[in-house]
Amino acid sequence: MSLFVRFWGTRGSIPTPGHSTRRYGGNTSCVEVRVDDALFICDGGTGMRELGEALLARSSDPVDAHLLLSHTHWDHIQGFPFFLPAYRSTTTLRVYDVERDDDRVHRLLLGQMRPEYFPVDFSELGSRIVPSHLDGGCTTIEGVTVRAFEQVHPGRSFAFSFAKGGTKVVYATDSELDRTVINRSDILDRPHALRALPRDALAFVADADLLIADAQYNDDDYRDGWGHARANTVVDFAIQAGAKQLVLFHHDPTQTDADVDGKVERAMARIRAAGAALTVFGAREGLELKLG
């Protein structure tokens, strides 16, 4: 069994090209998860454009992919109209909603290609785009167990886990974990105290080999209600869930590379202080990990 994870877009909210974001990247959310021959695409942010180019360059075989969107906010769908394989008749793209009777993802991908927003109509895409669902939150796709978990985010969002052969990857972006912290008053009163997270969220992530998690904010720039997490809260989440590696994801658009470096260093310090065996790093465009 082989499992690869590659980051094509790591930024939150809006693309941030430029010298100050060159190391971690300026494209919005898009992560490729390859499990043996199964290709999963987590979110269709602007990073999806380069993923499409890479897929066509990688092989002449038809692209057959499963697209899972955490939600349909702009920074998670804007790359889709620029995903070149979608224009090929040989491509099959399965687009997932979580629930059986929901077609919101498909409708919104179609809607953002109306002529008011984009010059090419959805109906002109040459590929086979198949609305699919996750059977209410858990299904098996090409031998990979895929689960969904609803998170706290304006307008809803979902985390996804991918498991096969004892290896598990969790993609959990656009999640305001801080609003679910059980001892929430401690975050301000005793910021160094462990932030206890709910049992169901911990169970979803339990023992993940890799947790890719929304860590947009530091403690001092957190925006209550904007749908994103403090990095320190995510560190505590990963520790309590027993994750092996934590990737700080969905960097705030105001954060330069140096700012993200600082966020990672503070996360490392918190892990050391907790005496935990957890590896942490900042999600970075062009980085590929091999697991399993």
Residue numbers of the site for another protein (CB under 8 A)?
Answer: 4, 6, 22-23, 245, 279, 281, 284-290
DSSP 8-state secondary structure symbol assigned to residue 123: G
Please name the amino acid found at residue 149.
F
CB closer to another protein out of 8 and 96: 8
In the bound state with another protein, the residue whose beta carbon lies nearer, of 33 and 93, is 33
For residues 84 and 54, the answer to whether their CB atoms sit within 8 Å is no
Q: Minimum distance between the CB of residue 65 and another protein, rounded to whole angstroms?
A: 20
Number of neighbours of residue 17 by Cβ within 10 angstroms: 12
In the complex, what is the shortest distance from the CB of residue 29 to another protein, in angstroms, rounded to a whole number? 18
> 128 phi and psi, to 5 degrees?
-95, 110
Smallest gap from Cβ 166 to another protein, in A, equals: 18
Return d(Cα 232, Cα 50) in angstroms, integer: 31
Q: What is the C-alpha to C-alpha distance for residues 67 and 41, in angstroms, rounded to an integer?
A: 5
Query: Which pair of tokens denotes residue 175?
Result: 């999640």
Minimum Å gap between C-beta 61 and another protein is 20
**186 or 257: whose CB is closer to another protein?**
257
Closer residue to another protein in complex, CB, 5/69: 5
Helix (H) or strand (E) holding 270: helix 257-274
Between residues 202 and 287, which has the closer beta carbon with respect to another protein?
287
CB of 161 to another protein, least distance (A): 21
User: Which residues fall within 8 angstroms of residue 88, CB to CB, at 6 or more apart?
Assistant: 56, 62, 63, 126, 127
Give the shortest CB-53-to-another protein separation in angstroms: 11
**Cβ distance to another protein smaller for residue 137 or 262:** 262
Contact 288, 4 (CB under 8 A): yes
